[in-house]
């Protein structure tokens, strides 16, 4: 088993290579107790309870390693490192989801918490809270998907799928 809890989901034997590294549908947890067993406390708080990690503290905010960022909960591929950019905000930022089409791998929801009006992004497959999307990103999309490191796991491009 990995020593780094953030890597636990990427090396989970339940993540089926035949499903592209995703957790099989019949093995997706169905309630908070099951999710809490599968995730670290921080991952659970952020991904399942809509928390936010502190800026400049997450594992991937400054990572430049090529690869695919997957949902920490279900293994769904969400973002490519090629769309990652340094926004200066302290969280991993991307210009577009992996498929480039809004609504296919991620879902968007109006978020009016914290006395703000923002657009929350979640994993379309399992509903994990990922972060928010803003319209202050660079070309070509003009979008900034501001994502919590605790909600994703990086599958480096040079490593085979486990």
Q: Which residues are part of the catalytic machinery?
A: 146
Query: Could you give the maximum distance between any two Cα atoms of the chain, in Å?
Result: 44
116 conformational bin, left if phi > 0, alpha if psi -120 to 50, beta if neither: beta
**Cβ–Cβ under 8 Å, residues 124 and 104:** yes
Helix (H, G, I), strand (E, B) or coil at 39: coil
Residue whose tokens read 């070509």: 140
């Amino acid at each position: 088993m990995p020593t780094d809890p953030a890597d636990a989901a990427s090396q989970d034997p339940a993540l089926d290579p035949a499903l592209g590294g995703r957790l099989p549908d019949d093995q997706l947890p169905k309630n908070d107790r099951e999710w809490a067993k599968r995730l670290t406390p921080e991952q659970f708080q952020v991904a399942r309870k809509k928390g936010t990690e502190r800026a400049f503290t997450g594992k991937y905010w400054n990572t430049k390693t090529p690869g695919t960022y997957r949902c920490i909960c279900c293994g769904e591929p969400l973002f490519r490192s090629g769309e990652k950019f340094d926004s200066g905000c302290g969280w991993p930022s991307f210009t577009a989801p992996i498929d480039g089409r809004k609504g296919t791998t991620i879902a968007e929801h109006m978020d009016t918490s914290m006395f703000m009006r923002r657009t929350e992004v979640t994993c379309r497959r399992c509903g994990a809270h990922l972060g928010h999307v803003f319209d202050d990103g660079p070309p070509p999309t003009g979008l900034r998907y501001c994502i919590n490191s605790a909600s994703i796991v990086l599958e480096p491009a040079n490593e085979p799928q486990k």
